[in-house]
Chain A
Amino acid sequence: MAMKSLDPRVNRLGIPEEKSELQPKGMLDQFETYEAFLQVKEGKALEHVGPVHAPNEEMAFLFAKEQYSRRGMFCNALCVVKTENIFATDFTDDGQDVYNTITASPSGEETESFEVFHLMKRGKQHKYAGDVMASSYEDAFVTAKDHHQDAKPVFNVWICKTDHVLSSDEDDRDIWDTLKEKQYRDAIDYRAQDKIKAFKEEKSA
């Protein structure tokens, strides 16, 4: 006997009435995670928006696009980086700039390109600061101090190799250029005060 539901969609799933045994999922299904970064418009810095679970970076891109820029959200560019490939510094607090904890000096070996992201306030999102040439993640952090530190303290830095970033194509920007009729996602599209007013007037009449 299939389970009877008020939801016709559930009825079509044909779920057996008796409880099926669930095998523990364990780690089997656990995909790796990717961090997604979004540029809301040209000229603005890329900003971290959150992670997605995905089996590889192509899928991560597909998923991030809808999870973080669906329907009517403005977007100019999107990129994903595998979490494992991001080097994160410790967090500092109370006005202390994480760059000021550095004691080493840059190696000066410009073997690889790295991308640098800053956290300017605890509880907010990391923002893109720029790139550096360096020999390792640690070296990139040390080198970034010279290039990207300014008066405002930075509380945490993320660094990844430029090669590890999957970005949206310039040519594919039109995937965000969609039908204008998406107001159904906006609170502003749901005005009904006139109906309430008419209803009250009718009642008091």
Chain B
Amino acid sequence: MYGGGNTFEALKGTALADEDPVKLAEFEARINRGEKIEPTDWMPQLYRKQLIRMIEQHAHSEIIGALPEGTWITRAPGFKRKLALMAKVQDEVGHAQLLYSAAETLGKSREQMIDDLITGKSKYSNIFNYPAFTWADSCFISWLVDAGAIVNQIANSKGSYGPYCRALERICAEESFHLKYGHHCVIHMATGTKKQREMMQDAITRWWPPMMHFFGPSDKISVHSEILMRWKVKMASNDACRQQFLDMYVPKIWELGLTIPDENLKKNTETGEWEFSEPDWAEFKRVINGDGPCNAERLAVRRTAEERGRWVRKALLAPKTKYVTPLA
């Protein structure tokens, strides 16, 4: 799963004027022909840096995203739910592995990325800074957070960078089980006993605001973002992803008799667009900058895992080991 809402500010040392115009033209022609870019191809610095940032954040979101759902691994009710949740959380860790590998082909080592995550230098999806209080919260995440992630990932899988597309193809195939499993859980809660319904409704109420933040604020249209769209780094606007999500899932939530805590939420029949109360972007910024309910815990857990695992890695690391970037 993944929290989208990519922001694409200009990065240092990526001015297009500094690039070789002939190589740049070849690079753009390849993308225009619909061919993928592969790791050892020439590419502009801007392309490389934005991709590293984007894929790295995606990978961090997977590994951190394993934590709120992992909260319920030992407590999932019954064999089927237990096995499915274990398998799902395991998949998220597997997705992180795939994505880190894709980012590595661009020249940043995995350990450097993990270092940047646990020292707070790089970001991950904001939604995972919220706590999963009850089993119903984990059901919400499995269904709707994953659904949001899939909207993003399907768009990105049509991007131009080969290794990222390959990783996303595998990820999307696995996510189809996550989504169905999540929906199955929510259906059982919503159509179940009074207690189950209450639990599910509370979870929807708690998670809706962060869900609306999930896709990020409206994009600023700039020359910069137009270039990234042309290069198929950015595949869809944050607003388009949010609209697509609402279109696909609001009716499915409503049909279960659940209430979404936004009285302004409705589809405008003339424009075909969903209207909703403006999400609290100040809260979004506050949480993304570290002041959310679980930021400290998420990073502390990752840090602890790294520290406790260090002796294992140290013991196995042969002194002569030479690291080379994975090939694809």
Q: Do A and B come from one complex?
A: yes
The 4 closest A-B pairs by CB, nearest first: A123-B36, A51-B326, A55-B316, A190-B180
Chain B residues whose CB sits within 8 angstroms of the CB of A189 once the complex forms: 180
Known: A123-B36, A123-B166, A184-B84. A200 touches B101 (CB 8 A): no
Q: Are A196 and B256 in contact (CB under 8 A)?
A: yes
The answer to whether the Cβ of B318 comes within 8 Å of any Cβ in the partner chain is yes
Contacting residues of chain B (217-231) with chain A, CB-CB under 8 angstroms: none
A198 touches B191 (CB 8 A): yes
Question: In the bound complex, do residue A31 and residue B297 qualify as a contact, i.e. CB atoms below 8 Å apart?
Answer: no
Contact A125 B166, beta carbon cutoff 8 Å: yes
For B130-153 the 0/1 string (1 means CB < 8 A from A) is 011100000000000000000000
19 additional contacts, CB 8 Å, given A50-B326, A125-B328, A195-B188?
A6-B131, A9-B71, A15-B304, A19-B300, A28-B111, A30-B109, A33-B326, A50-B98, A53-B110, A55-B317, A55-B321, A84-B322, A88-B327, A123-B35, A124-B166, A156-B38, A184-B83, A185-B84, A200-B255
Which among A51, A55, A195 has the highest number of chain B CB atoms within 10 Å? A51
Q: Known: A35-B327, A55-B321. Contact between A196 and B30, CB under 8 A?
A: no
Bitwise, B86-109 to A at CB < 8 A (1) or not (0) is 010010001001100100100001
State which residues 64-87 of A face B: CB under 8 Å. 67, 70-71, 83-84, 86
Residue in A51, A59, A184 whose beta carbon sits within 8 Å of that of B316 in the complex: A59
Do residues A30 and B111 form an inter-chain contact, with CB atoms below 8 A?
Answer: yes
- With a cutoff of 8 Å between Cβ atoms, the chain A residues found around residue B306 in the complex are 22, 25
In the complex, are the beta carbons of B297 and A5 less than 8 A apart?
A: yes
The residue of chain B having its C-beta at the shortest distance from the C-beta of A193 within the complex is: B187
Q: Nearest-CB distance from A188 to chain B (Å)?
A: 8
Contact of A94 with B101 at beta-carbon distance under 8 Å, contacts A6-B133, A7-B67, A29-B310 already known: no
* Interface residue B80 (Cβ < 8 Å from any Cβ of A): yes
Q: If A86-B327, A91-B41, A126-B328 touch, does A19 touch B133 (CB 8 Å cutoff)? A: no
A-B contact count (CB 8 A): 186
Q: Which residues of A contact B (CB under 8 A)?
A: 3, 5-10, 13, 15, 19-20, 22, 24-33, 35, 48, 50-53, 55-56, 59, 67, 70-71, 83-84, 86, 88, 90-91, 93-94, 122-126, 156, 158, 184-192, 195-196, 198-200, 203
Which one, B17-25, B54-62, B114-122, B201-209, is touching chain A? B114-122
A28 and B317 contacting across the interface, CB-CB below 8 Å:
yes
Asked whether B255 lies within 8 Å of A31 as measured between CB atoms, the reply is no
Residues of A within 8 Å of B303, CB to CB, are 20, 22
| B285 interface contact, C-beta 8 A | no
Interface string of B298-310 (1 = CB under 8 A from A): 0011011011101
Q: How far is the CA of A56 from the CA of B313 in the complex (A)?
A: 12
A9 touches B110 (CB 8 A): no
